[in-house]
Every structure is written in C-alpha cells, then in structure tokens.
Structure 1
Amino acid sequence: MLKLTFIGNDDTVYNLEVEDGSTVMENAVRNGVPGIVAECGGACACATCHVYVDEAWIEKVGEPEPMEEDMLDFAIDPRANSRLSCQINMCAEFDGLTVRVPDEQG
C-alpha cells in the first residue's frame, strides 16, 4: 500500500493508504474526501477533480498532458501546481504524495 495525503479546503488532513495503479481521484471518491466531485468519473472531461500538488511533489508528478491542460482551463483558480486528480496514477514513486483540495470546483 502507498500513502496519499489530501489537505481539505478547511485544512482537514486525510491520510490514506491506497493501491498502486489507482488514481488520486478514485481514492478521494472512495474515501469520501470532500471537494472532489469527479462528475465525469475520471474521463478527463470535466475539471471537478482539480487539486493542487504540494510544492515538494510538483517535479516528480510532472506536467499535465495537453488534454488535461485544456480541461484545467475550466477549473476555478488554476495555478502552476494544478492537476486533475483523475490523471495522476499512484505508483511507488508517488508514495507519500500530498495534494490540496481547492476551495471550490468548476
């Protein structure tokens, strides 16, 4: 199992143990993390699973692919560290990943 931490928009910390290969969004939904709506179910067709990747993880997680970057245009308050959580697949390299849930979703 891998460690994944969500910091809610109210600063509540959600420390999860997740499976290799699962997406950050799937784990948020499965564990009831508030603020991750995931209207499209992970198809990269909305921006309601938007998260901010912790500064310490930006380089490791990498940049969004073009399709994800286009969808981030629909996110509320996108930033340089914005990603769609449906597009981040957990792996050993991301063990300990921390993401923050924005104040609101698009």
Structure 2
Amino acid sequence: MRNDTQNLKLKNTTPIKKSNIPKDPILGLTQLQIWAQLDIAEELFSKIFLVNELQWLLWAFGDNMNNKRKKNLIPLILEHLKKGTSFSEEAILKGQIFAV
C-alpha cells in the first residue's frame, strides 16, 4: 500500500530524470540524497544513470571501486547518499556534477 501511495506522489511532482539534477555538485548531491530516500530509488537510478555516471558518483564520494555493473554500483551509491556522505573537494572543485 505504501508503495502505491509513493507512486502517486511521484506522478504529482517534478519528474525524476537526470535533467532535473542541478549542475552544481553540492546542489546535485542534495537532490540525489532526496531521491535516495524513495522506496524505488534503486530502480530509478538504474533507469536514469549510465555506468560512467555511477562511477563518477562513487569517485566523488572518494570510493575507488572500479566496477562496471550497475547492480553493484547502485547499492553503494545509495548507501553513501543515505548516510549523507559529502562529495570530495576535488569533485566539488570540478564545478559541475558528472564533470570528467
């Protein structure tokens, strides 16, 4: 029942898509932390992010895991987001989320 309620809420809010993430790394991180709280976060992240973007997020958290499978990357990222892990100084200095 709760999942149905949450899906209804999602339909009445701003769509969850990559283009709605602010470019600023700190603001983008805040948005990702909000999305990570959703029950369907793992499914959403799997649909909207490419592997290289997920790897960038792990790098930004200071995690040097070199995995290329979404099913392994997403739980690690969600864990960082739920714990409130900050991006590294280097990632913030890039000035843009997902900047290489």
Q: TM-score range by the shorter chain?
A: 0.3 to 0.5
Q: Which has the higher strand share?
A: 1
Higher relative contact order (CA 8 A, sep 6+): 1
Report the TM-score when normalising by structure 2. Answer: 0.33
